[in-house]
Amino acid sequence: MAINKVKGMYDVLPSESHLWQALEQKIREILGLYNIKEMRTPVMEYSDVFHRHTELSDMVTKETYNFDDRGNRKLTLRPEGTAGIIRSYVENKLYASQELEKVYYIGPNFRYERPQKGRYRQFYQFGVEAIGTISPALDAELVILAYDFVKRLGLKGVRVKVNSLGDDISRETYLEALKKHFMPHEAELCDDCKARLKKNPLRILDCKIDQNHEAVKNAPTPQDYLNKESRDYFLKVLDHLDAAKISYEIAPRLVRGLDYYSHTVFEVEADIEGFGAQNVLGGGGRYEKLVSELGGPNLGGVGFAFGMERLLLALEAENVDFAKEKELDAFVIVFDEALKTEATRILYELRTSNMIADTNFTHKSFKGQLKQALKFKAKYLIFLGDEEYKKGMVSIKDTKTEKQEEVLLSKVKKYLLEKMEK
Ligand code: HAM
């Protein structure tokens, strides 16, 4: 019986993997410019890493894959990268050697969401965290990096939205105001929002069910409740964004779906038809309590993450030619099965000189082999035939110029190397 993949998950097939490789390469290239190092943490953590808080987001309460291992430990497949990075930052006392730790990560995450285009149960994120200090310049640095990143990928229809939730005091005042605002409408809200009203009314603002309710549309925004310190902080962030001359929008209603943010929050949206709510390519913000909640000192951080499937969908939708499949340098076409060992010798020799080379392994006819070579876009065809072999020769054809030459078997590598240098 054939078994299918798990619902909401997908395979990257051989014809698609070059896109993923190119995206990852681009990420590493760009992050290098910002002097940011990679960090890798496990895909699973003790559940407490994610389930720490009373104000839990939907992602943590309803969407995580939780299970007990054979030793009855409670584990969770990571739904996002940040918490695991902070767990490791604290566990390895990275704060002791570095005032500011800037890291990036690439890896799979798991959320039990309703699958649709751009939303999966296993998805890849590329993210950045800068942990150890609070500074408007650093918040701006991350927004600028997110902007620069999508631009360098070649995406055009993207918008960067920023907002501030303010410090703890502003946030608390705002939450109280939100509660007051929604209380008279409690009975009209969905069951989830009824619960959110008590625990964390911020979540009501990005509820997918109640999004068109008048009370949600008219809700006060965090901007209305920023105290002076928070407002000054936000204005400084904006000064830095202006200094870098990046284009952004202030989005007063942007609150983000996770529970740990304060001060700056931001998202990168794409204008892509058919993407629906999945047009948010990435988002992030400042977090002040995560490090201490996970047992570390009282240090803040700021970060963001992009969904890599969404980036690839956006690149495809905008027809950005950012990844080329590798073309073959040479393909060996064999006329006689008996000459296959000679093909093996030639191939190995070419590869030791870093040429991309292949041959046919499935007993195809001459025509079939030729078709295969052209499909791989081989630059040179090496014809290994009886007659020539007896003379110690092969024929090599340049597929671009269509020119064909006889070459001594012992000179194949040298010949191709010289040709390719030109
Ligand atoms: P997030 O907004 O939950 O933030 O996720 C970031 C990005 O991951 C989203 O904008 C989206 O592109 C992608 N994403 C999320 N869920 C899915 C899904 N089910 N399928 C496909 N793509 C998805 C975070 O995860 C925070 N950790 C970001 C952050 C880092 N904040 C501070 N530091």
Q: How far is the CA of 283 from the centre of ligand 1 (A)?
A: 7
Backbone angles phi, psi at 196, to 5 degrees: -65, -35
Q: What is the pLDDT of residue 53?
A: 61
- Using a 6 Å cutoff on CB, does residue 80 contact ligand 1? yes
Q: What is the pLDDT of residue 390?
A: 94
Q: Which of 77, 112, 114, 123 to mutate to test the pocket of ligand 1 (most atoms within 8 A of CB)?
A: 123
Spell out the per-residue pLDDT of the chain, length 422, in tens: 899 999 999 999 999 999 999 999 999 999 999 999 999 999 999 999 998 765 556 666 779 999 999 999 999 999 999 999 999 999 999 999 989 999 999 999 999 999 998 999 999 999 999 999 999 999 999 999 999 999 999 999 899 999 999 999 999 999 999 999 999 999 999 988 888 888 888 888 878 788 888 999 899 999 999 999 999 999 999 999 999 999 999 999 898 877 789 999 999 999 877 777 779 999 999 999 999 999 999 999 999 999 999 999 999 999 999 888 889 999 999 999 899 999 999 999 999 999 999 999 999 999 999 999 999 999 999 999 999 999 999 999 999 999 999 999 999 999 999 999 87
Give the other-Cβ count within 10 Å of 282's Cβ: 25
DSSP string, 31-65: HHHTT-EE----SEEEGGGTS--SS--HHHHHS-E
Q: What is the pLDDT of residue 114?
A: 92
Residue ID of nearest Cα to ligand 1 atom 22: 307
Q: Measure the CA–CA gap between 128 and 123, rounded to whole angstroms.
A: 16
- Using a 6 Å cutoff on CB, does residue 282 contact ligand 1? yes
The dihedral through the CA atoms of 382, 388, 389, 391 has a sign that is negative
- The pair of three-digit structure tokens given for residue 406, joined into one six-digit string: 């006889």
Q: What is the pLDDT of residue 206?
A: 79
- Residue pair 290/84 in contact (Cβ under 8 Å)? The answer is no
Which pLDDT tens digit goes with each residue over 52-88? 765 556 666 779 999 999 999 999 999 999 999 999 9
- The pair of three-digit structure tokens given for residue 11, joined into one six-digit string: 């395979």
- Using a 6 Å cutoff on CB, does residue 79 contact ligand 1? no
- Using a 6 Å cutoff on CB, does residue 30 contact ligand 1? no
- Using a 6 Å cutoff on CB, does residue 329 contact ligand 1? no
Residue ID of nearest Cα to ligand 1 atom 15: 307
Question: What residue type is assigned to position 368 of the chain?
Answer: G
Q: What is the pLDDT of residue 58?
A: 67
**Which pTM does this prediction carry?**
0.92
Residue 344: CA atoms inside 13 Å, Cβ hemisphere, count? Answer: 6
Strand, helix or coil for residue 280: strand
Q: What is the pLDDT of residue 59?
A: 67
The dihedral through the CA atoms of 362, 366, 371, 377 has a sign that is positive
Q: Measure the CA–CA gap between 82 and 92, rounded to whole angstroms.
A: 15
Q: Measured in whole angstroms, how far is the alpha carbon of residue 38 from the centre of its chain? A: 13
Query: For residue 280, which atom of ligand 1 is closest to its CA?
Result: 10
- The pair of three-digit structure tokens given for residue 46, joined into one six-digit string: 């003790």
- Using a 6 Å cutoff on CB, does residue 264 contact ligand 1? no
Is 126 buried (19+), middle (13-18) or exposed (0-12) by CB count in 10 A?
Answer: buried
Q: Which of 59, 258, 264, 291 to mutate to test the pocket of ligand 1 (most atoms within 8 A of CB)?
A: 258
Strand, helix or coil for residue 110: strand
Residue ID of nearest Cα to ligand 1 atom 1: 283
